[in-house]
Amino acid sequence: MIKKDKSSYCKRLFFLFCVLFFGTSLGLSAQLTIYGIAEKYNDRKHGKVITYEPMKSVIMDCQGDTLTFDLNEYDFRFTTRKPPKKYMFPDGVYYHRIALGVLPGNPGDGGYVNYTYHYQRNRLLGYGGGISFENYGDVDGYDFLVPSVVFYSYFSEKNTSPFLRFTTGYGIAIKNTSKFQTKAQGGINLGAAVGLRLSTNRIMIDFSAGARFQKAFYEFDFGEFSKITDARFQRFDFSVGFMW
């Protein structure tokens, strides 16, 4: 019985040693991550140091690219600051975007779901098209299907960037007979918003605020009386979007 207890005790000590050894090793490897900055005139590279030979050269991982710098040509210094994340949204690329938005106002709060596909020609100009389902109040059933053209302009070439968005299209009114609508005619749809783009490694998340305008014409028949509405919906627009 004593031998069995000793064997169990030794196994526990060995297991504890392994946990401490590998934990310490992982901690040391994390602490040994070193960053550096190499500069030459207007060329500045910031990355993780792979190898360093004093007075000769340094090899760094700069946003996924392995680069070698001659220390006779580049000024080099170590830093504890991590390099910025690689820019994930270059120009000359097509992007998908899905967004959900709210349209607060009278005669009732509304909302929308939107899909766009656009080409970002350069940082300041992107253009494309999209379609959305928009509601401007459930009380009288103001629903629209809106094909539109969209324009984007980003303020900085960084993953986190403020931007402007403009949309113009035509809201096709969806007649809702359950709300006593006998005629539903749509009209021009305009929107403008300012927002902030935040990115992960695979997808962009943006938050925006702006305004939206929708023109429409309705006729209602309530049996005892009828009503004609020449509607001009002017709403605040708050949305969250996902782009890739």
The predicted-structure confidence for 175-198, as pLDDT tens digits, reads as follows 999 889 999 999 999 999 999 999
DSSP tag of 177: G
Residue 95's pLDDT is 95
Residue 13's pLDDT is 53
Alpha-carbon separation of residue 25 from 32, 82, 132 (angstroms) = 11, 21, 54
Residues pairing with 171 in the sheet: 187
Dist CA 226 CA 45 (whole Å) = 71
Residue 57's pLDDT is 95
How many residues can be counted in the chain?
244
Dist CA 19 CA 28 (whole Å) = 14
Dist CA 53 CA 35 (whole Å) = 14
Dist CA 67 CA 43 (whole Å) = 13
Residue 134's pLDDT is 97
Look at the pTM and tell me if it is higher than 0.95.
no
Dist CA 183 CA 174 (whole Å) = 9
Task: Return the beta strands (E) in the chain as ranges.
Answer: 35-40, 43-53, 57-62, 65-70, 75-79, 93-103, 110-122, 125-135, 143-154, 161-174, 181-185, 187-199, 204-221, 226-243
Phi, psi of 128 (to 5 degrees): 180, -160
Dist CA 59 CA 69 (whole Å) = 6
Dist CA 234 CA 216 (whole Å) = 11
Residue 192's pLDDT is 98
CA dihedral 172, 97, 154, 125 (to 10 degrees): -60
Residue 91's pLDDT is 87
Give the CA count within 13 Å in the CB-facing half-sphere of 17: 6
* Contact criterion met (CB below 8 Å) for 146 and 189: yes
Give the CA count within 13 Å in the CB-facing half-sphere of 47: 21
Residue-level pLDDT, tens digit, the chain, 244 residues: 544 555 555 555 555 545 444 444 444 444 578 999 999 988 899 999 999 999 999 999 998 889 999 999 999 999 989 888 777 788 899 999 999 999 999 888 999 999 999 999 999 999 999 999 999 988 888 999 999 999 999 999 888 999 999 999 999 999 999 889 999 999 999 999 999 999 876 789 999 999 999 999 999 999 889 899 999 999 999 999 999 9
